[in-house]
Structure 1
Amino acid sequence: MAISLKVAKHTAGKAASRQRRQVRGRKKLHGTPDRPRLIVTRSSRHVFVQLVDDSVGKTVASASTMEPDLRGLDGDKTAKAKRVGQLVAERAKASGVESAVFDRAGNRYHGRVAALADGAREGGLAF
């Protein structure tokens, strides 16, 4: 799988640093039917997660804070991210997936990304 994103090393800023981390990580991570890739996408307000089988390019399961049942949840964004992790773990188990490869997409393993991972582990997804 070739990554065509080019980021100049001298480019400053948080976004450029995240893109460089993302490219480095994607070289090493590949999802299989037995162990799909758990991709975390984070915006300023929401968290999106999906399990992707890279051999066929198919999404096995997905969840986000934009779903109607999660929009009405009380709590901060970190608590909602944890619930998204639990929800994607439930959907993965329903699809027959027991373990995954965690792809944080260049985001630091901290805050909402870590809470989502903890929620997925509590839901029974191994990675």
Structure 2
Amino acid sequence: MNKSQKKTARRNKIRRRISSTIRGTAERPRLCVYKSNSNTYLQIINDMEGATLAATEVKKGVENAKKAGEDIAKLAKENGITKVVFDRSGYKYHGIIKAAADGARDGGLQF
């Protein structure tokens, strides 16, 4: 197992542990963050219905992640959502993940 596979396995283990406790409901949907090699994705999900309520995608980068957080907060407000549960998907809370969370808070979402 190379370094990249170990890192992915570690994140998946953390993700499973987090998802066992975090559930999005109609009152407090889940704000999920995912990073690929080129993009950052944010989704607001109602796990009880299995529905994505809002989503945004931007190129990878801290500044873009903050903008994505503000955009997702704007979409959430249009759908009447003010409170969410933050799901960092097993990533460390710094850099892009922190910027996305700060952008969403600046946009008016409450965690």
TM-score (norm 1): 0.81
Larger Cα-atom Rg = 1
Q: Does 1:54 align with 2:47?
A: yes
Give 1:90's aligned amino acid. Answer: K
Higher helix share: 2
| 1:124 and 2:82 correspond | no
Return 5+ residue gaps in structure 1 as ranges.
1-11, 67-75
Which residue of structure 1 aligns with residue 83 of structure 2? Answer: 99
1:45-81 alpha-carbon deviations (Å, 9 max, x no partner):
2100100001101111111106xxxxxxxxx710000
Which residue number in structure 2 is paired with residue 72 of structure 1? none
User: 2: CA distance between counterparts of 1:121 and 1:77?
Assistant: 18
Tell me the amino acid that sits aligned with residue 97 of structure 2.
Answer: V
Output the CA distance in 2 between the equivalents of 1:49 and 1:22: 16
**Which blocks of at least 5 consecutive residues in structure 2 are unaligned?**
none
Look up the SS of the partner of 1:63 in the other structure: strand
Following the alignment from structure 2 to structure 1, what is the Cα–Cα distance between the partners of residues 31 and 22? 10
- 1:17 corresponds in structure 2 to 10
Question: Once the two structures are superposed, what CA deviation does each residue of 1:66-122 show, in whole Å capped at 9, x if it has no partner?
Answer: 6xxxxxxxxx71000000000000000000000100011111111001000000000
Report the counterpart of residue 114 of structure 1 in structure 2: 98
More strand by proportion, 1 or 2?
2
SS in 2 for 1:44: coil
Partner of 1:78: 62
Offset at 1:44? 2.0
Equivalent position amino acid for 2:38 in 1: R
Say how many residue pairs are matched: 107
1:32 is aligned to 2:16: no
What is the TM-score with the length of structure 2 in the denominator?
0.93
Q: Provide the secondary structure at the position in 2 that maps to 1:85.
A: helix
